[in-house]
Amino acid sequence: MKIVEVTWVDAVIENEHLEMEALSLLAPLVRHNVGYLFWQDEEKVVLTFGTINNLFKGVTGYDQASAIPMCMVKDIKVLGEINE
């Protein structure tokens, strides 16, 4: 499984009451997430931030998954790879 850094653009939501000048300064955020690349296709990239091996069932579980729309992704950099 590949370990990757995904650089992507996220929307900003402000819950405070802002004046017009402050509102005009709002801008999307550039985010960087590092994790295990679980899935990637034309629609999305799915990262998981941990794996759990269930010795009793013989399966691997994944936690803290994040699905990022590909239209928001700017770059995917491979940092390494692990054998499952």
Average pLDDT over residues 6-26: 89
Q: CA 66 to CA 84: how far, in whole Å?
A: 20
Domain map (residue ranges) of the chain = 2-81
- The per-residue pLDDT for 82 is 85
Above 90 in pLDDT, residue 34? yes
Task: Identify the three-state secondary structure at position 72.
Answer: helix
**What pTM was computed for the model?**
0.82
**Residue 84 CB-half CA count within 13 A:** 15
- The per-residue pLDDT for 84 is 65
Question: What is the 3-class SS of 28-68, one letter each residue?
Answer: CEEEEEEEEEEEECCCEEEEEEEEEEECCCCEEEEEEEEEE
